[in-house]
A and B are shown apart, each in its own frame.
Chain A
Amino acid sequence: MNKTADNRAWLLVTPVVLLVAFNALIPLMTVVNYSVQETFGDNTFFWSGVTWFEQVLRDPRFHGALGRQLFFTGTILLIEIPLGVAIALTMPRRGTWVSVCLVLMALPLLIPWNVVGAMWNIMALPDIGLLGHTLNSMGIDYNYTRQPVSAWVTLIAMDVWHWTSLVVLLAYAGLVSIPEAYYQAAKIDGAKPWAVFRYIQLPKMKRVLTIAVLLRFMDSFMIYTEPSVLTGGGPGSSTTLLSIDLVKTALGQFDLGPAAATSLVYFLIVLAVSWIFYTLMMRTEES
C-alpha cells in the first residue's frame, strides 16, 4: 500500500490526544505517582516502592470494604436483572400506553444521584419519614442510622428503585426487536408461555442483557454518591463500600499513598471483572 505522509494529520488527532490525556492519562499517572512514593505534604517525595500496595492488600479494613462491595453488587444484580426482565415482559408492545410506560420507567434515571440519596434518607427517617414511620408504626423495629440490617435493606431498596429501570429499558428494547412471526410460529407449534420465554425471548435478549449486567456491575461497583448521602457508610462501617472507604482514607485521613494504592487496586478489579465477564458472555454467544 502506498502511504501518503502528511504531518498536518497530527493536527487532526490533537484534540482527541489532549482529551484522552486530560481525561484519563494525566489523572491516572498522578495516582500511580502517589502510590509508589511517600510524601509529608510539603511537596517532597520519597520512593517507597510497593509498600503501600502491600499494606493495602493486607489491611483488614480494605478486605472488609471489598467484601461489602461484592455483597452489594451481587445482591443488586440478582434482584435488578430478573426484576427488570419481568417488568419488561409485562409492558405493552404497542399502543398508546407504550410511551406512558417508558416515561414512567425512565423517571428514576432522570433524578440526580445525590437527590436520590437525599430522598431516601428523608423518606426512611424512623420518626418523620414516610417509609420509616410506617414501618415502625407497623411494629417493625426499623432504624437505618443505628441498625446495620436496616441500613443494608434501605441501601439495596434504593439502588433497586433507582436502577432497575435501566435493565427494564434495555430488556424492553431487546423484546420489541423480536419479530411478531416468532410468536406466531411458537403459537402454531403449541409452545407454552414458559417455552416462548426460555427459547425465544431469553436468547433474543441475550445481547442486551449482557450489556445490562456489565453496566450494572460497573456502576454498582463504583457507587459512591447515593450511599454516601444515605448512610455515609454507617452505622459504624457497616455500609462502607469501597469508594466510601477510599474517600475516607484520601480526604479524611489524607493518607495519599495508601489511598492511591487502593484506587489502583480498585480500578484493576473493575477492569479485570468486566473484561472476564464480557469475554465469557461473548464466547458463549459465538459457540
Chain B
Amino acid sequence: MSLELRNVSKVVGNEVHIFPTDLTLEDEGFNILLGTTLAGKTTLMQLMAGLQRPTEGEVWFRGRNVTGVPVQQRNVSMVYQQFINYPNFDVFENIASPLRVAGVNGAEIKSRVLAVSDLLRLTPMLNRRPSELSGGQQQRTALARALVKDADLVLLDEPLANLDFKLREELRDELPKLLSGRGCTVVYATTEPSEALLLGGHTAALAKGRVRQFGPTGTVYRQPANLESAAIFSEPPINTIAVRKAGHRLLAPGGLDWPIPGPLASAADGDYMLALRPHNVAIKRRRETDTPLTGNVLVTEISGSESVIHFELPNDTWVSQSHGVHRVAVGSTGTFFADLGQAMMFTPDGVRVKGGV
C-alpha cells in the first residue's frame, strides 16, 4: 500500500523516456532515485506526481488508481533544483500559498506556517522577499511550502544541487529528520552516489530510462544486482574488465593472468565481467594477496587527502583511489595493487553472479 508504478512507460514522439517500469516505493519512507542526468529521474517523478501522464501503465497510490488524476487533486508537493518561490510574496505568504489556495482559515494558516518556519529556522525572515534571502534560505522556503500542506507524497528533484557545499551538507543532514514521522512518502532524486548513501532509505538505481534495481540503499550499493546498477553507484567510475575464468586463474586480454580470489572461486568456468570499485585499487600494497597491476598513468587528481589516478590496462582504463597525497607523473608507468577479493563478477550481460557483500 504505497506508491506503485505498474508497467508504467513514457514515450515522447519516437523517444522512449521511461521503459516499462514496475516499482513499489516504501510507504512513509525515504526513496532515492539515483542516476546520471537524462537517466529519467525527473520524468519518473513527474509521472509519480501526475504532472505527466504515462503512455502506458498505471500509477497507484495507497490502494487507489491515480493514473490521470490531475496533480492538484493528489496532495503532492514538490521541490526543485531551482529555488522556486513566488517572487513578490514574502516568506510567510510563500509558505502560506498552498493553504490559501486550499481555502484554509486565517488562524490555522498562521499556526501551521509558524510551526513549519520554526522547524526550518525561517521565522526571523518571514517578512522578507525571496530576492532578499540567501540560496539556502530560498530553498528552505520552498521546502517549507512543500511541508506545510502535509502532502502524502513529497517529491524532491535534486533539491540540494544548486546550494553551495556547506549548506548542502547542513540541509542534507536535516532533510530526513524533517520528513520522517509526517506520514508522507518521500522521493528524492540525486546524481550523487555519496548523497544516496548518506541519506539512507531505499534507492532505485536508474540508467537510460530503466530502473535497474530497487532496494535498501546499502544493499543496492553492496550487492548490485547488475553491472549497470554497480556503475551508477560508483564515483569515481567502477573498474570493469572482461575475464575468462579457467580453473584457478582469471585470464584477461593483453596477457593478464591473475590467481582467482577466494570469494569468486566457486563460479563455473567461462566468460565474465569483473568489476572492482576504485577504492579497492590502491597505490600501496595493503595485503599479501593484492594483485599488482602496471599501466601507463593517464590522469592524476588529488583532492585534499585523496588521490585518484587513472591508468591504462591493455584493453581498459582503470581508476585507483587511495588515501593520502600521491603525486604520480602523468605518462609514467605506475604499479597499483588490486584487492580482487572485493571484486564482483557479472555475466557478460551484466547480471551479478558472485562477489559483493
Which residues of A are at the interface with B, using a C-beta cutoff of 8 A?
A: 179, 181-182, 184-185, 187-191, 195, 199-200, 203-204
A95, chain B: closest CB distance, angstroms: 12
Q: Let me know if B60 is at the binding interface, CB within 8 A.
A: no
B318, chain A: closest CB distance, angstroms: 39
Q: Are B72 and A187 in contact (CB under 8 A)?
A: yes
Residue of B51, B88, B98 touching A189 (CB-CB under 8 A): B98
Which residues of B are at the interface with A, using a C-beta cutoff of 8 A?
A: 46, 49, 51, 71-72, 76-78, 80-82, 84, 86-89, 97-98, 101-102
Dominant SS among interface residues on chain B:
mixed
B112, chain A: closest CB distance, angstroms: 15
Chain A residues, CB < 8 A from B101? 189-191, 195
Residue of A181, A187, A199 touching B86 (CB-CB under 8 A): A199
What's the Cα separation between A200 and B216 when bound, in Å?
A: 39
What's the Cα separation between A191 and B98 when bound, in Å?
A: 8
Residue of chain A at shortest CB distance from B83:
A181
What's the Cα separation between A20 and B46 when bound, in Å?
A: 56
Chain A residues, CB < 8 A from B81? 181
Q: Are B84 and A182 in contact (CB under 8 A)?
A: yes
Residue of B77, B78, B84, B89 touching A179 (CB-CB under 8 A): B84
Residue of B49, B77, B84 touching A181 (CB-CB under 8 A): B84
B285, chain A: closest CB distance, angstroms: 51
Q: Are B78 and A184 in contact (CB under 8 A)?
A: yes
A281, chain B: closest CB distance, angstroms: 14
Q: Are A188 and B82 in contact (CB under 8 A)?
A: no
What are 18 A-to-B residue pairs whose CB atoms are below 8 Å?
A179-B80, A179-B82, A184-B51, A184-B78, A185-B78, A185-B80, A185-B84, A187-B51, A188-B49, A188-B72, A188-B78, A189-B72, A189-B97, A191-B97, A199-B88, A199-B89, A200-B87, A204-B87
What's the Cα separation between A191 and B97 when bound, in Å?
A: 9
What's the Cα separation between A242 and B82 when bound, in Å?
A: 49
Chain B residues, CB < 8 A from A182? 84
What's the Cα separation between A179 and B162 when bound, in Å?
A: 14
Other than the known A187-B71, A188-B51, A190-B102, what 16 A-B pairs have Cβ atoms closer than 8 Å?
A181-B81, A182-B84, A184-B46, A184-B51, A185-B78, A187-B51, A187-B72, A188-B76, A188-B77, A189-B98, A190-B72, A191-B97, A199-B86, A199-B89, A200-B87, A203-B87
Chain A residues, CB < 8 A from B46? 184
Chain A residues, CB < 8 A from B86? 199-200, 203
